[in-house]
């Protein structure tokens, strides 16, 4: 729904594997955070409950292709702020259509979480990370990918 949303930000939200070939989304800016040891949304995809989910890489590639980005991301590794057994890899796809970007954060060593907040059910969801703040990441992304900023970039 690119006519409604300028950007989306799924947290541990890979696309359903059955939708990979059938899904034809409109161009929209995308950022996402995924834990590498997420027991509920495995980073490599697979069976979750009664559904098959795509891997984080397949989800990234779908959005990069949809937004006309390069197929190969630049991967950066910010220095961890704390030593909690996690680190962040940032996958940034270049050359996207005006007003769109595709940026994925893969948190090595993190489970199914909203970082940096520790869940009461960590035994089910896995560890969290204090090396990224999902609220800040998503807010910063949304603040630079509004309908107004999209219109301005397409007019330039």
Over residues 100-113, the mean pLDDT reads 95
- Is the pTM for the entire model greater than 0.95? no
pLDDT digits (tens, 9 = 90+) for 70-99: 999 999 999 999 999 999 999 999 999 988
Q: pLDDT tens across 131-142, in order?
A: 999 999 999 999
Helices in the chain by DSSP H: which ranges? 56-66, 122-125, 134-143, 147-155
- Residue 143 above 50 pLDDT? yes
- pLDDT of 4: 66
Specify the pLDDT at position 74: 97
C-alpha span between 79 and 86 (Å, rounded)? 11
Long-range contacts of 5-8 (CB under 8 A, 24+ apart): 6/99, 6/145, 6/146, 6/147, 6/149, 6/150, 7/31, 7/141, 7/142, 7/145, 7/146
Q: Give pLDDT, residue 5.
A: 72
Residue 72 is predicted with a pLDDT of 96
Whether pLDDT at 1 is above 90: no
Q: What is the mean pLDDT of residues 55-66?
A: 93
Contacts of residue 133, Cβ cutoff 8 Å, sequence gap at least 6 = 115, 116
What mean pLDDT is predicted for residues 47-76? 93
């Amino acid at each position: 729904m690119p006519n409604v949303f300028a950007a989306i930000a799924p947290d541990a939200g890979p696309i359903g594997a059955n939708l990979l070939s059938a899904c034809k989304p409109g161009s929209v800016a995308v950022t996402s955070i995924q834990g590498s040891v997420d027991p509920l949304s495995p980073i490599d995809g697979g069976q979750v409950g009664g559904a098959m989910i795509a891997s984080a890489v397949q989800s990234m590639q779908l959005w990069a292709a949809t937004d006309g980005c390069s197929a190969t991301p630049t991967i950066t590794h910010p220095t961890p702020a704390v030593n909690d057994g996690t680190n962040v890899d940032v996958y940034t796809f270049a050359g996207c259509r005006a007003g769109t970007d595709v940026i994925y954060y893969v948190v090595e060593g993190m489970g199914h979480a909203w970082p940096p907040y520790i869940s009461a059910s960590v035994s089910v969801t896995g560890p969290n990370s204090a090396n990224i703040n999902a609220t800040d990441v998503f807010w910063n992304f949304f603040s630079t990918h509004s309908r107004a900023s999209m219109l301005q970039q397409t007019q330039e």
